[in-house]
């Protein structure tokens, strides 16, 4: 099971003290080979976090990258080579917060290609808005996001898919169990080589419900991942 912490635009150097608790917990946690933890902090914390997590099983990833896989005159941007260089092994691409800010499927496709070329693994996010859900076009939306996003990309173990319904992010609302099972199943049938995670308001209170959905391969966690106690609780409850 994957537990991916997306810190979004939260965190300064002091925030790194909190991950010590997670490292300590993992040392005493009965080792489970399927457990995979990845922290995706803001770019400013990737290097110091990688150093802090040296000699642990926790990996570090970034939250986005520029689509160019060479250096260039793109003020304020960071590409996948730079992220790899400071210790990132993963990068989140296609998060709805960036799609809403104007990131297109075509751009997402270029970003994924550049990340793979640089040797990063991609956490590729897809999900429908509330309006699209109400119109009952979730499957068409996901189909399009997957089709364009992964166009001409050879899928091996280089892509992890994260289904994050936009209406569930930061709202405390999660999909109904049967609906979520069905959507994950739909995604898995479309790209059978990928692990498929769920993201959107995952917390210690709803993890028991979520873990009963048997086709989910892990979670992409926003708010709750910044609190080590909640993050640990989610992991513990998943395996209990």
Q: Which spans of this chain sit near ligand 13P (rule: CB under 6 A)?
A: 6, 95, 164, 169-170, 199-202, 220-224
- Using the minimum distance from each CB to ligand 13P, give the nearer residue, 87 or 200: 200
Give me the least distance between CB of 194 and ligand 13P, in Å please.
Answer: 17
Q: Name the active-site residue from 95, 97, 103, 128.
A: 95
Say whether 164 is catalytic.
Answer: yes
Please state at what angle helix 138-149 crosses helix 105-117, rounded to 10 degrees: 40
- Using the minimum distance from each CB to ligand 13P, give the nearer residue, 61 or 87: 61
- What is residue 61's DSSP assignment? E
Give me the least distance between CB of 118 and ligand 13P, in Å please.
Answer: 21
Whether the CB-CB separation of 187 and 179 falls below 8 Å is answered with: no
Give me the least distance between CB of 72 and ligand 13P, in Å please.
Answer: 28
Q: Is the dihedral of CA 172, 178, 183, 188 positive or negative?
A: positive
Instruction: Look up residue 97 and give its two tokens.
Output: 């917060």
Q: Closest CB to ligand 13P belongs to which residue?
A: 222
SS3 at position 10: coil
Closest CA to 117 of 144, 86, 83: 83
- Using the minimum distance from each CB to ligand 13P, give the nearer residue, 6 or 80: 6
- Using the minimum distance from each CB to ligand 13P, give the nearer residue, 4 or 49: 4
Say whether 128 is catalytic.
Answer: no
Instruction: Look up residue 216 and give its two tokens.
Output: 């989910």
Give me the least distance between CB of 40 and ligand 13P, in Å please.
Answer: 8
The alpha helices in the chain, defined as continuous H runs, are 19-28, 46-52, 80-85, 96-100, 105-117, 130-134, 138-149, 177-190, 207-211, 228-239
Q: Which amino acids are annotated catalytic? A: 95, 164
């Amino acid at each position: 099971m994957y537990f991916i912490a997306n810190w979004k635009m939260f965190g300064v150097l002091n925030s790194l003290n909190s991950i010590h608790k997670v490292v300590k917990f993992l040392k005493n946690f009965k080792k489970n080979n399927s457990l995979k933890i990845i922290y995706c902090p803001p770019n400013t914390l990737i290097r110091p976090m990688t150093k802090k997590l040296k000699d642990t099983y926790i990996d570090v990833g970034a939250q986005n990258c520029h689509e160019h896989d060479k250096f260039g005159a793109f003020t304020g941007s960071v590409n996948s080579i730079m992220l790899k260089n400071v210790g990132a092994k993963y990068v989140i691409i296609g998060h709805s917060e960036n799609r809403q800010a104007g990131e297109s499927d075509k751009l997402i496709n270029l970003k994924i290609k550049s990340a793979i070329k640089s040797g990063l693994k991609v956490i590729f996010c897809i999900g429908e808005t509330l309006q699209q859900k109400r119109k009952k076009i979730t499957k068409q939306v996901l189909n399009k996001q997957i089709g364009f996003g992964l166009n001409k990309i050879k899928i091996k173990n280089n892509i992890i898919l994260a289904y994050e319904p936009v209406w569930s992010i930061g709202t405390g609302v999660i999909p109904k169990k049967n609906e979520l099972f069905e959507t994950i199943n739909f995604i898995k049938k479309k790209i059978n080589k990928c692990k498929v995670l769920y993201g959107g308001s995952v917390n210690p209170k709803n993890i028991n419900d979520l873990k009963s959905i048997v086709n989910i391969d892990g979670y992409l966690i926003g708010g709750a991942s910044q609190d080590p106690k909640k993050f640990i609780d989610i992991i513990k409850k998943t395996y209990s």
